[in-house]
Amino acid sequence: MRQSYVKNDISRGADVSSGVPLCPVPDGLLYGVPGVAKQIDLDTLAQLGKKPTKNQLKMMSRAYRKAVSDSLKYRLLEVKDSPLRKSYLTSTCCCGHIDQVGQAQRTIFCNYRWCYLCNNIRAGILTNRYGPAIKSMSEPVFLTLTRPPAKRSNLKNEIIDYKKCQSACFKDVRAKRIRCGRPDPVNAISRIEANYNRNRDSYNVHSHMVIDGYDNAVLILEQWLKKNKSATIKAQDIRRVVNPDDMPAEMFKYFVKTITDKPFNAVGMDGFFQATHGKRLVMTYGNIRAVSDDVVNDSDLYIDWIESKIDRHIWQGSKVRDWCSVSDGDLFSEFVADSDQDYVISNLRYKKRDKKNKRYETKENKQVEA
Ligand SMILES: [Zn+2]
């Protein structure tokens, strides 16, 4: 059985065209209390042959990510004295309502790095925008550079220094190549990432990059080890890209693993978000131009699974986890969390699985809105 909500007293009296100020409250309900529930039988829908469209599936995925994202933001709000508290609160309004005009939809994204929903869309944007540059490389090589872990108190400086050091490596390699009569630039795209170690309260800052030319990758690696005496060769990785088509999505899937199979650590995550707030974590070298990764409304996601109308769909958090129509109370995406998704939303971690059965985690990590 599927639950739907009819409009409540507040939404019934709302003026859709003028917009209603949204007020986030801890349980994620952005539009007052839900009204009387009406029941939709999913089996009946199945018998009617109602198959979700591609766009509806995309919206269901957003509903799931919105639910995880809200849960995550409320946990981050529990971090006392964080200078980002106000921003965490503001971002709970991300995609809080969807305005429908005919088949077009408009919403507002928060665009913050901690937002599980925006990050997924951002990964898709970066994949699409940098994809052609990666695919056009004649010899793409995947290079991972690391340094010893940094303490939370020093993370901001570490990231600034890390970026400077990496850029200096490219500058030196370029100069070396020019001296050898090879003036062509070294093309590469790099993304900085950090893994938090709860026991040591430290971050393993590292960068992944796709670089054109195996010899270039080796030269960068050599420079990196020269400049970072405490970095070991064993902790670096260099490998040829076997399937360049999969590389862009792999490169941009996340900047920090917010959801893992370990307990969510709000203090550790807050430390990373503080250190990287307003900082660019994707860097380009050579002829590759940097592109914006701002999450904006996507006009191509048109509403083709419900009737064309003028309406506003308001996010109902808590147990509903879907947007609810102001005009008729119907649920928008008809997302229903399965047990694994329900577990992630409630616990902000994946269920621990044995090595033979890691399908869910892999699928989650790979899914971006490309
Ligand atoms: Zn967002």
Q: Splitting the chain (370 residues) into consecutive groups of 10 residues, what average pLDDT does each group show?
A: 39 37 36 36 51 94 96 96 96 96 95 94 91 93 96 95 97 94 94 92 95 96 96 95 85 84 94 94 95 81 94 92 96 95 94 59 49
27 alpha carbon to ligand 1 midpoint, in Å? 17
324 residue type, one letter: C
Locus of tokens 């018998």: 47
106 alpha carbon to ligand 1 midpoint, in Å? 14
344 alpha carbon to ligand 1 midpoint, in Å? 18
46 alpha carbon to ligand 1 midpoint, in Å? 32
330 alpha carbon to ligand 1 midpoint, in Å? 24
What is the model's pLDDT at position 257? 85
For the chain, list the domains and their CATH numbers.
2-108+297-336 (no CATH), 124-285 (3.30.70)
pTM of the model: 0.81
Task: Report the residue count for the chain.
Answer: 370
What is the model's pLDDT at position 111? 94
Contact 24, 93 (CB under 8 A): yes
What is the model's pLDDT at position 36? 33
- Give alpha helix (H) positions in the chain: 9-12, 42-47, 54-76, 85-91, 116-135, 155-179, 214-227, 247-251, 266-276, 339-347, 359-366
Q: DSSP per residue over 12-23, as a string?
A: HT--TTT-----
295 alpha carbon to ligand 1 midpoint, in Å? 8
96 alpha carbon to ligand 1 midpoint, in Å? 10
**DSSP letter, residue 351:** P
State the Cα torsion 5-6-10-14 to the nearest 10°: 120
Tell me how far apart the alpha carbons of residues 171 and 151 are, in angstroms, rounded to a whole number. Answer: 28
What is the model's pLDDT at position 6? 39
What is the model's pLDDT at position 245? 85
346 alpha carbon to ligand 1 midpoint, in Å? 19
What is the model's pLDDT at position 115? 96
193 alpha carbon to ligand 1 midpoint, in Å? 19
111 alpha carbon to ligand 1 midpoint, in Å? 5
What is the model's pLDDT at position 48? 53
252 contact partners, CB below 8 Å, separation of at least 6: 122, 123, 126, 127, 130, 191, 282, 368
318 alpha carbon to ligand 1 midpoint, in Å? 18
Structure token pair of residue 253: 């899937």
Of 246, 173, 249, nearest to 213 by C-alpha is 173
